[in-house]
A and B are shown apart, each in its own frame.
Chain A
């Protein structure tokens, strides 16, 4: 990476453009959808399910953003959602606070294991979190005895269903966390160090800046947010089924990349991730909506084809950025 120094300005610039592009496309798609479908698009179940999905995906995408900024990846978040969702569900009879604490705590514990192995034992993030993807899911299934875990009706569910200014509590929680994260990235030494590590871990260490703790912390955070997402999911739907979270880590990665964070680390944006996620979700919602109206017939498997195609386009754009101009 150090060789292409002259292209660095371009990378930041192009990624910023890409972020603006993502936001612009998001706005455009929403506008077109409103024109085409009118108020029907915004009414009823459609909007609620859109934001319910957005909330849980965005929580893992937020954690993933920081992980990717360090140049790492966390493949375990989908499994952590299941494990923490199950743990939270089993704890839910003891009250909402206990359920949230247990869920987030479980996620954080798994994240801490990832973080220790990656930051201290210096193992590859890909391998470590792939292993965790397997064992965390296995543990979750074991814990639930492979039965759907039901969240007791109570404070949690009402929290999920309560609306403030027409949007769910979960939605506002998501917005709050994203704002806090954006502030942390821009205005805390931790946030700047996370970016520095992703840019060049060796340089950062040679500059006398400790790198282990920040590296550890991004996996801890990612795990904790995935744990929170598990509890949020349980409270939204009232239960956690056993196929929960399969493949979600890749939706998170896709959102992060579409949002203009460099997969190799060092450059990134919190708001971009949110925009990326909302855009991906809006496209699927429209596909579903069209299906519902009988306008087109695309089954849900095509969603992933769209996701994949979208991601490829963005990665192609980014690779063009990374490669920069050739020496003449």
Chain B
């Protein structure tokens, strides 16, 4: 078993477990990479891909399970350790040092030396050679950061090649590349494979997986749920494995009738919105009294759509109408003035002010209105806070620091913060992420009531069940393009999955594709 068996797989990871402060990130993860193989690793956000990769490359130590390279058990303690065994990772956001030269980036940590000093001539020549194997001829003395991301990625690969990597982990390398750059990358990957390097390839773009990979490992909730040949799975089956819904399991939660539109004209209308790099061409209408859903895989531009509408990201092109007008929405302040509200996806980073009280958190967006002659009207503030705590059933004291609350209650406070501004349109980005089942139900019930009271709601969620049960109509985004609308009568998890995976259901190919904005 411990003997090197050249015919066996290059890498075997079995029963790998890892917890962070009590939370299970990996729970029985398995991955096998054969020789001369490019293996796809996929999973939803939070499925454990990054953790698995970081364990493989020595950034994290595993809690349990085993990792074998060439049949021998290994336990990397650092990135350097993994590199010595030929395991090299190229991260999503190219993790090199941009202000140093290309040559230095390739040789950092192992500079060629002469009499103890860095031998620049040898280093430059070595860098040119390493890049030449990838058919790249650039000035290696210039700072790496002066080149395009694609070139930086090639530099990272050249570094890996010159480290004599046997297993290359590519973590979403294509997410910031243009189409023909992706083709170049794939060409390099193929020739590396032919020369004996195995690769693990992470991407959310289904087409890419089928183009470059032979086999796939699917992670869900920290477990490996499939290790199969891609040839035996179609895109639809793959997505259903990733999301954990059997193809036959058709949703039953859809309501019989849509909520009535309270006005003929949409309260919010987005046409052909584009915002580099993710959002390319998205159109969506939100009606007062209805919940408009947005579905799509990770990286499809869901959050970016909301951020652009709210003025948090600049809109490169396209049109946004609020109640038929075209107001300026270039900053969140302008969006708020036009009665938009945006509950962000990342509660911790973009939502709560952790050590402030519930009261102050709740009234943060309201302070200008509550201020009389430069002083906050504390009586009205208390009144509003008491009112919302009761209305939303927030289990907390008004002067308690918000960080002490459960996720569900924190989310309710943030929702109350926006509701207090009396918005006409509520943008919700993953409003139930990371909160428990009962709080989830309460928040969805509240969304339902808000719509019934005449608010227009735009809901982004990666949980299809939630989208299907909460929305009247769903727009599907794929690679930054709104490819389909699914109305209530056809709305099911199955139909959504099909559109998300294939992008088919609506003519999208005849829409002229905009070029990615230049860098």
Contact = CB atoms under 8 A, between A and B. Distances in A.
Contacts, number: 96
Contact of B143 (A8, A191, A208): A8
Interface stretch (A82-90, A198-206, A215-223, A272-280): A198-206
Nearest to B163: A208
B89 A206 contact: yes
B330 interface: no
A210 B80 contact: yes
A192 B145 contact: no
Contacts of B80: 208-210
Given A11-B99, A188-B116, A204 B108 contact: yes
A206 B79 contact: yes
A298 B300 CA distance: 64
A208 B79 contact: yes
A188 B118 contact: yes
A183 B145 CA distance: 24
Interface size class for chain A?
Answer: 20 to 34
Interface stretch (B39-47, B90-98, B491-499): B90-98
B354 interface: no
Interface residues of B, number: 37
Interface in A110-140: none
A5 B97 contact: no
A207 B91 CA distance: 10
B117 A187 contact: yes
Interface in B57-97: 59, 78-83, 89, 91, 93-97
A47 to B, nearest CB: 36
Nearest to B113: A189
Nearest to A202: B95
B144 interface: yes
A203 B93 CA distance: 10
A189 B118 contact: yes
A208 B83 contact: yes
A43 interface: no
A192 B95 contact: no
B149 interface: yes
A192 B111 contact: yes
A99 B21 CA distance: 52
B433 interface: no
A206 B99 contact: no
B9 interface: no
- Most chain A Cβ neighbours within 10 Å, of B80, B98, B108, B144: B98
B92 to A, nearest CB: 11
B519 interface: yes
B82 to A, nearest CB: 8
10 contacts: A6-B146, A9-B142, A12-B99, A187-B117, A187-B118, A188-B118, A192-B104, A204-B108, A207-B108, A208-B109
Interface of B: 59, 78-83, 89, 91, 93-100, 104, 108-109, 111, 113, 116-118, 120, 142-146, 149, 152, 159, 276, 314, 519
Leading 5 A-B pairs by shortest Cβ distance: A8-B145, A9-B146, A208-B80, A209-B109, A187-B117
Given A5-B145, A8-B145, 10 more contacts: A2-B98, A6-B146, A8-B146, A9-B146, A11-B99, A189-B111, A195-B100, A200-B95, A207-B97, A208-B78
